[in-house]
Amino acid sequence: MRTLLMTALCSVELLTAGQQMNVAVCNLDGVREPIIAKAKAETELVFRSAGVTIEWGDCDTFPTPDSLKREPWFFVRLRTGKPPRTVGPASLDVMGKAFVEEHGGGYMADAYFQAIQDTSEQHHGESGVLLGFVMAHELGHLLLGPGHTPDGVMQAAWGQKQMDALGQRWLKFTEDSAARIRRALEARAAGDAGGKLVVREALRPVSFEIEATPRIGISQAAELPLRFLIRDNRFVRRTR
């Protein structure tokens, strides 16, 4: 009974502390749509266990700069070419890459589907499921920065044990990683305020005077020999 109560309390805590993230998938090399749909479902499942919901978009409807400031987006590019292999074949880094910025965050990641498909066949798994896990792993780097954990979604090593756990839906973010992800999303939603609420003074109307001067370069005009300017405004009048 106590275990059930603690589980329920933890579930309520995740729901009340939940965050939302916007993710656009850029299918650059024609990965089949059913595989992408399967991958999205797996990524959603992983992040939902961390108290985060995902709103999906695509690169055909690229958000405007203003909307990016209000609601930060993350972009995952699906590629079928060879990855820039800098690690051994048993690492998740060979299947994806997150472009982490100097401050530790980022917005862009790549997933290399050919390497994902090869690994899935080697370990008798589903390529769509593994693609979703790789997407979750790289999105985790964009929120958590570089580095890995001994277990969970952010572990670096990969093999049959991890594939079996993935098939059973056992691979989740650790509690610490999940809490950090929610805090990172909260800070990003607050914009450049560093997580602090900023109240700015509303713009107030400014009084100004209209000045009439002779039109430049025109000595005679049939109807309007004058020009009208805002006095002492350097943006709409010629500097003398």
Q: Domains in the chain, start-ordered, CATH in brackets?
A: 2-193 (3.40.390.10)
Q: What is the rounded average pLDDT for all residues in the chain?
A: 76
pLDDT digits (tens, 9 = 90+) for 123-135: 888 999 999 999 9
Distance CA 174, CA 196 (A): 26
Query: The pTM is what?
Result: 0.69
pLDDT digits (tens, 9 = 90+) for 75-112: 999 998 776 655 444 456 689 999 998 777 889 999 99
Of 161-165, 170-174, 215-219, 221-225, highest mean pLDDT? 170-174
pLDDT digits (tens, 9 = 90+) for 164-194: 888 777 789 999 999 999 999 988 877 644 4
| 111 Cβ contact partners less than 8 Å away, ≥ 6 residues apart | 76, 77, 78, 79, 95, 96, 131, 134, 135, 138
Strands (E), 80-136: 96-99, 108-112
pLDDT digits (tens, 9 = 90+) for 29-47: 899 999 999 999 999 999 9
The single-letter DSSP state of residue 159 is S
